[in-house]
């Protein structure tokens, strides 16, 4: 079970839990906090955030610096992604492919409330590879 927050391209948020999360699948089911079951198409999302806590920490400013000694970076690419809504996320991905419409990213900041993100490439304004694998 994963706690997730689905950020739709139109700004809607759906918070809940999922048991069937995989970047290679086009959809996942989310059991919302109010008990509903929702099928989510990853193509309709900005990003699906796997979170540690649904409340988050709005006051926390995430570190966006690349740490070359980060043990999570072995075999990963460091990416800087700018979403169409202006949000900038720096993270690392072991499965990034320029052809894939969605891909998984781990945030650069290990203390982030986001444990992992499933990014919809269609929601990005730009993507820069900061450090190749």
pTM across the whole model: 0.91
Whether 41 and 79 share a structural domain: no
The dihedrals phi and psi of 111, each to the nearest 5 degrees, come to -95, 5
pLDDT tens-digit map of 86-117: 999 999 998 888 899 999 999 999 899 999 99
Q: Is residue 96 included in any domain, yes or no?
A: yes
Q: Is residue 58 part of a domain?
A: no
Based on the domain organization, do 78 and 114 belong to the same domain?
Answer: yes
Q: Give pLDDT, residue 92.
A: 94
* 66 in any annotated domain: no
**Quick one: pLDDT at residue 109?**
93
Cβ(1)–Cβ(51) below 8 Å:
no
How many domains in the chain? Answer: 2
- 75 shares its domain with 125: yes
Categorize the per-residue pLDDT at 129 as very low, low, confident or very high, splitting at 50, 70 and 90: very high
**pLDDT greater at residue 24 or residue 5:** 5
Task: Specify whether 43 is located in the same domain as 75.
Answer: no
- Check which CATH number belongs to the domain holding 79 and give it: 2.30.30
> First and final CA of the chain: distance in angstroms?
29
Predicted confidence (pLDDT) at residue 65 exceeds the cutoff of 70: yes
pLDDT of residue 68: 76
Residue 62 lies in a domain: no
Residue 33 placed within a domain = yes
In the chain, pLDDT over 90 holds for what percent of residues? 68
- The stretch 69-92 carries a mean pLDDT of 91
For 30, the domain range is 2-47
Q: How far apart are CA 99 and CA 110, in angstroms?
A: 27
């Amino acid at each position: 079970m994963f706690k997730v927050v689905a950020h739709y391209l139109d700004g809607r948020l759906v918070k809940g839990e999922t048991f069937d999360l995989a970047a290679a699948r086009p959809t996942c089911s989310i059991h919302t906090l109010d008990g509903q079951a929702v099928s989510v198409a990853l193509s309709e999302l900005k990003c699906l955030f796997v979170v540690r806590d649904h409340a988050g920490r709005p006051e926390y400013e995430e570190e966006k610096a690349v740490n070359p000694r980060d043990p999570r970076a072995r075999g990963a690419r460091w990416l800087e992604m700018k979403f169409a809504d202006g949000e900038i996320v720096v993270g690392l991905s072991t499965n990034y492919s320029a052809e894939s419409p969605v891909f998984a990213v781990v945030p650069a900041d290990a203390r982030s409330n986001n444990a992992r993100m499933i990014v919809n490439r269609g929601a990005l304004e730009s993507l820069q590879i900061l450090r190749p694998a």
